[in-house]
Structure 1
Amino acid sequence: MRVRYECLLIKTLDRSMVSSSSSFSSKRQDELQPNHPCDCDLPSRVKTSRTPDNPGRKFRVCQNSLDEGRKDGRGHYRMKAEESCNLTLKICTLENEISICMMKIEEEKNRNKQELDKVNWKLFTRRLALIFLFLLYVKMLF
């Protein structure tokens, strides 16, 4: 289960903040965003998550959460839902494609194994026939 932190102090990010170029420089991410203050009227910052649960996900951080690493029970940040929904959809689609490919590979492997078993059986029966014919030939000589 993925953990999502909700901030009661920060206004929800609007679509105008999502960059069409899909990138913020790391310096800009660390700059204060006075146009988008949290509910406590302090400027917020845009950060990028580097956690395994939310990789690459953008979120806005309240100034209070940056002071001396302070975190309280209310969590001072909110993930950007628009980008995470798109990423989640892409990840789910890719996971489904991978599952389908793995099933196809497994089916192909099973078909190849069955075909190999048939070829091995034919080879075994022909070897037995050759041994039997050789024994008959040797018996006829003596």
Structure 2
Amino acid sequence: MTRNERLARWIALLLPAALLAGAWGSQLFGHLYPCEMCHWQRWPHYAALPFALLAFVVPQRSVAKAFVILAALLVAVSGVIGVLHAGVEYHWWNGFTACTSTVDLRGLDAAARLDALMKAPIVRCDAPQWTLAGVSLAGFNAIFSLAGAFTVLVLMRKSR
């Protein structure tokens, strides 16, 4: 296995692990509760981890390379979902889930208002709970996931 392949394998494992640790840490310790689209971003990272781990244990180099590439593609999928989510947060486009709906209470009687409020999402996808320099957690996930996946794929291509 070449140096580039080893580096790509480590990035394919550590990047989704670190991003998931950050997501869970912000949830458990920072009390930033994930919305529906936040959960969507986590699923490809969960899926990438077993493939990245398998790349360390399979003896066939070609199979290990395939697992690394698959892990990188899954990380990229999370990045694309992060772009979609960040776009919803920045109001570049409308969200397509119930968690982006706003409650319009105009013209409703008291019972209908209460019903609308009770059905409203607790954590909205279109309102970032935390930002740093104007970048939300979805934005950071998009940046790190897409850059990391690109790096892994370039390293794997150079190893040919």
TM norm structure 2: 0.26
Identify which of structures 1 and 2 has the higher relative contact order when contacts are C-alpha pairs closer than 8 Å and 6+ apart.
2
Q: How does the TM-score come out when normalised to structure 1?
A: 0.28
Q: Looking at CA atoms only, which structure, 1 or 2, has the larger radius of gyration?
A: 1
Which structure has greater strand proportion?
Answer: 1
